[in-house]
Structure 1
């Protein structure tokens, strides 16, 4: 059995992939920000012929688009006594889906707190993974080639949501702590 990276919270590691999804704890993680990024396109110094070849992209090929979520990943919960008060082990994390396409869905409100339930992955033989994200103010489905979650700071015990000072502000950094 592996030694936890953060023994107090039980966090086993700071970098998770789609192979770990079933082993991860998910409990309505607060989303602080999201971003959609793409590659920077073709180099500036291409000849017209090279540019034409670069621009001839197969529409069925995976894209270079990435979908990033800056969230408070809830590592676990601690229930106290008969009154069942609850504290949470929470850490700032970056959730990234790579090579994203065929995005459907939307947001109910961008003015209210947004949280994220456990991502649901559907894997069919010979096809790329389909994802479904649902939360209090969002519902998205899409196809992606890769997935990962990086915990950026050690978990802290307390409220379900971290304050900006506790989490180091908004970040899509993919460098794990530890």
Structure 2
């Protein structure tokens, strides 16, 4: 079991899974990269490199803006199938990919072992079946004034599946 955490930000451990789904929230998490990876098994993994907002911090006067505890993380959906999605980049401008919400839905075909996942983003959408997920927080959270880390702060686009210690 992973006991690595970061008390100041409220992060209790550095590796989470679908068993923790009800405690997690991906609103405004920035996606830096996406990969479909062969696993040697029949079904691949869907891997996202993202900046996960561990905690929003209310402004203390005279400040007027929130600050954020943010950690670069690797989100790995296991045994993925029926993957479909949509990207909506119009007008030549490509926005940051930010997650609005992540839903775990009960499929109507009775296959409870393969839930339907739906990632709704501000300029994209993904739907797929997967047996579950693990999310690896690669660095201890950092308190910053924006919702995403810079490329240099987060160590670039990374798909490492190891939590910080």
Q: Same fold (TM over 0.5)?
A: yes
C-alpha distance in 1 between matches for 2:135 and 2:19: 11
Write out aligned runs for 1:135-174 (5 A).
135-158=121-144, 159-174=146-161
Q: CA RMSD in A?
A: 2.0
Counterpart CA distance in 2 for 1:5 and 1:32 is: 23
* Residues 176, 106 of structure 1: alpha-carbon distance in 2 compared, 3 angstrom cutoff: same
- The number of residues matched between the two structures is 155
Q: CA deviation at 1:145?
A: 1.1
Alignment correspondent of 1:78? 57
> Which residue does 1:69 correspond to in 2?
48
**In structure 2, what is the Cα distance between the partners aligned to 1:25 and 1:112?**
21
- Please identify the structure whose Cα radius of gyration is greater: 1
Larger helix percent: 1
TM-score by length of 1: 0.80
CA-CA distance at 1:126 after TM superposition: 4.0
Residues 1-178 of structure 1 mapped to structure 2, 5 A cutoff: 5-39=5-39, 63-82=42-61, 84-109=64-89, 111-123=94-106, 126-127=111-112, 128-158=114-144, 159-178=146-165
CA distance in 2, matches of 1:12, 1:150: 12
State whether residues 153 and 177 of structure 1, in contact with CA within 8 Å, keep that contact through their aligned partners in structure 2.
Answer: yes
Specify every segment of 5 or more residues in structure 2 that has no aligned partner in the other structure, as ranges: none
The 1-side partners of 2:64 and 2:134 are apart by 33
Q: Unaligned regions of 5+ residues in structure 1, if any? A: 42-62
Structure 1 range deviating more: 122-131 or 156-165? 122-131
Q: Distance in 2 between matches of 1:20 and 1:118?
A: 15
Contact 1:151–1:177 (CA under 8 A) maintained in structure 2: yes
Partner of 1:44: none
Contact 2:119/2:126 (<8 A) preserved: yes
**Does 161-170 or 107-116 show the bigger shift?**
107-116
